[in-house]
């Protein structure tokens, strides 16, 4: 088995065995990865790949929007922020604007870091003080 196949197997296993919280964290990280790639694509005038990567980031944000519990109070606060990020990504795509991508990346990073802390606190509650991610 090649190293690439081993890595792909590892990635597949990490997704299929992840908790819902860890999957959300993976989505945030994936979104950040695609925004970073899109930024590099703009720098290299590769508009086709920039478009592909921004659309991937948008799909992740849209997936996060769909998975919000409409009955939860926090949804009323998070949904407009996700919508804002999605719109900024669209604007960055249209205008080839790295500054807008940086803004979107900053917002997604805040969500990711907050979510990481939530997972950590939940693990500490569940397993004791030594649990980390």
Structure confidence by residue, pLDDT tens digits, 27-73: 999 999 999 999 999 999 999 999 999 999 999 999 999 999 999 99
What is the architecture of the domain spanning 19-131? Up-down Bundle (1.20)
3-state SS record for 81-103: HHHHHHHHHHHHHHHCCHHHHHH
Q: Which residues of 54-88 are buried (b: 16+ CB within 10 A; e: fewer)?
A: bebbbebbeebbeeeeeeeeeeeeeeeebeebbeb
pLDDT digits (tens, 9 = 90+) for 75-107: 999 999 999 999 999 999 999 999 999 999 999
Domain boundary assignment for the chain: 19-131
Q: What is the pLDDT of residue 14?
A: 53
Entry pTM: 0.83
Could you tell me which residues come within 8 angstroms of residue 80 by beta carbon, excluding any fewer than 6 positions away? none
Whether 56 contacts 34, CB under 8 Å:
yes
């Amino acid at each position: 088995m090649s190293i690439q196949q081993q890595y792909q197997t590892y990635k597949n296993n990490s997704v299929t065995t992840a908790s819902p919280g860890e999957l959300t964290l993976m989505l945030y990280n994936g979104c950040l990865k695609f925004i970073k790639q899109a930024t590099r694509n703009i720098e290299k005038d590769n508009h086709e790949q920039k478009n592909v990567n921004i659309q991937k980031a948008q799909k992740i944000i849209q997936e996060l929007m769909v998975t919000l519990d409409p009955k939860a109070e926090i949804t009323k606060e998070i949904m407009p922020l996700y919508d804002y990020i999605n719109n900024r990504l669209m604007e960055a795509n249209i205008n080839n604007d790295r500054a807008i991508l940086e803004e979107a990346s900053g917002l997604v990073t805040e969500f990711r870091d907050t979510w990481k802390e939530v997972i950590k606190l939940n693990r500490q509650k569940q397993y004791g003080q030594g649990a980390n991610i």
